[in-house]
Amino acid sequence: MAPESATPPRCTVTVNHKAQQFAGPPHTNALDFLRGLGLTSCKEGCAEGECGACAILLARTDGERSRWSAVNACLIPAAALEGQHVLTAEGLGTVSEPHPVQHQLAEHGGSQCGYCTPGFVCAMAAEFYRPERAEQQVAEAPGPHTGGPNGFDLHALSGNLCRCTGYRPIKDAAFELGMPEPEDHLTQVPATRPAPTDYWGADTPAGAVGRFRRPETLSQALQILSEEPDTKVIAGATDWGIEVNLKSARANSVLAIDRLAQLRRVVQNENYLELGAACTLSELERALAGRVPLLDLLWPNFASRLIRNSATLGGNLGTGSPIGDSPPVLLALDAQVVLVSVSGERVVPLENYFTGYRQSVRQPDELISAIRIPMPLAARVSFQKIAKRRFDDISSVAVALAFDVQAGRITRARIGVGGVAATPVRATATEQLLLGLEWNEQSMQQAGALLSTEGTPLDDHRASAAYRRAMLGSALERFFAEQETERRAGS
């Protein structure tokens, strides 16, 4: 039972500029909370963050700037929104005074059945207000996956599914958007920090009391884990939210660490680059600004912008999934995992972190606080994700490569692989074979034969074991072909 001193079971969230009270079970997601308020523009399509029908806008402080971020309401616990500002499609405009995004979609016929439209509106509005967009306007529209003449990045809509296949008019509407007018009040994003939360409510089918906490400091979070090691830790909840929705997962204690300042730093020195485990992938992409080319290859292949606005590297490693997109890349970068508890800090090489299927060396009372990437970085890199869809899909095989070549010979080779074993793996045998070999197609074919034998791939609905081995075997040749194409283009 909740102690008498506990905060009453009620959270305050600012929704469409009006304070609203949430008093439901802690596992209730933001989508159900908002629909309960009558804001039915939010739709449930997939309940796992793939369709974008539930997209909303969330005001977030990002470094020195505040911005509207589009996120999946079906995954975020409503209690995690305490003290924050949320906009739905209803809060952007009205029938008589539509928002510019809504106006352009209507003008270009970008809404057919209308089910997906509010989600597109919110995702498009986040890009409309993106602070950097004015700096990225170009004279001519570049390729189909880079952006339009107004600086609009179509990848901002990659997590929104239109079942009527009305993508062409939606794209036209996006590329017709101008810049926000000076008097547009939404350009002034509320610079709010999520409130510390200690929220109680009936959580389990048996009626037991569940607790949702967002501590103010890392030490408070570690103390909670020390005393209650069964506590469920979440950041973006992009994995846990699916478990709640599709598998009816519940927890007696949930700990939100997504806004802890100590877990949100990006620090670089001469020895390593340290990435805070609670930084969202979108925040890391902006903060690094191209400093880690292999991560630049990862970002557009990691789910959608809606997911990357919530998901974290710490969460991706914490789930221990063998098909997570970031582990192969981090393995190729020789990354280390920084683990903290009330007993102190320890640093574990990522190649020693995973111990079995969704298992790791992390103890129940430990948090992933950061990921360290040793410097200097390798000069030649590649990330190859083999999936049924080009974007926003789970990989059948993922291969990350980081090489150095001097005087025509390979002096450094790091290969991270996912989808071919119970854990992400380093292809150490192939790495050893490559050292000292000439940088040519014959060497890649020789090493590729060995790479195809690393791991223990299985047959499943995504791919056969034979297909996975074939993809491994050809990965090095693809890498060589990519590098040679770039070399010729630059010469």
**Interacting residues of 474 by C-beta distance below 8 A, sequence separation 6+:** 448
- Domain ranges (residues) in the chain: 7-192, 209-377, 380-490
What is the dihedral angle through the alpha carbons of 317, 159, 393, 486, rounded to the nearest 10 degrees? -90
Q: Which of 315, 284, 245 is nearest to 73 (CA)?
A: 245
- Tell me which architecture the domain covering 7-192 has in CATH: Roll (3.10)
Output the DSSP codes for 354-389: EEETTEES--TT-EEEEEEEESSPPSEEEEEEE-SS
Give CATH superfamily name and number for 380-490.
CO dehydrogenase flavoprotein, C-terminal domain (3.30.390.50)
pLDDT at position 377 is: 98
Cα(332)–Cα(315) distance, rounded to whole angstroms? 19
- How far from chain centre, in Å, is Cα 370? 16
Kindly state the tokens that stand for 26. 């802690």
Q: Do domains 209-377 and 380-490 have the same CATH topology?
A: no
pLDDT reported for residue 1: 45
DSSP 231: P
Q: Is the Cβ–Cβ distance between 400 and 392 less than 8 Å?
A: no
Architecture per CATH, domain 209-377, reads as 2-Layer Sandwich (3.30)
Are 67 and 130 in contact by the 8 Å Cβ rule? The answer is yes
Across-strand partners of 58? 69, 86
Cα-based angle 222, 224, 226 (whole degrees, multiple of 5): 70
* pLDDT digits (tens), the chain, 491 positions: 444 444 455 789 999 999 999 988 889 999 999 999 999 999 999 999 999 999 999 999 877 789 999 999 999 999 999 999 999 999 999 999 999 999 999 999 999 999 999 999 999 999 999 998 877 765 344 444 457 788 999 999 999 999 998 999 999 999 999 999 999 999 999 877 787 888 887 544 445 568 899 999 999 999 999 999 999 999 999 999 999 999 999 998 999 999 899 999 999 999 999 999 999 999 999 999 999 999 999 999 999 999 999 999 999 999 999 999 999 999 999 999 999 999 999 999 999 999 999 999 999 999 999 999 999 999 999 999 999 888 888 899 999 999 999 999 999 999 999 999 999 999 999 999 999 999 999 999 999 999 999 999 999 988 999 999 999 999 999 999 999 999 888 86
pLDDT at 209: 60
pLDDT of residue 189: 93
C-alpha–C-alpha distance, residues 376 and 402, integer Å: 12
How far apart (Å, rounded) are the C-alpha atoms in residues 72 and 243? Answer: 15
The answer to whether 388 and 396 are in contact (CB under 8 A) is yes
Q: Are 22 and 33 in contact (CB under 8 A)?
A: yes
Q: Which residues contact 416 (CB under 8 A, 6 or more apart)?
A: 327, 328, 329, 330, 331, 332, 333, 399, 400, 424, 425, 426, 427
pLDDT of residue 202: 56
CB half-sphere exposure, 40, CA atoms < 13 A: 3
Q: Which residue type occupies 39?
A: L
Per-residue pLDDT at 141:
41
Measured in whole angstroms, how far is the alpha carbon of residue 346 from the centre of its chain?
25
> d(Cα 279, Cα 256) in Å, to the nearest integer?
13
Contact 6, 200 (CB under 8 A): yes
Query: What DSSP state is assigned to residue 17?
Result: T
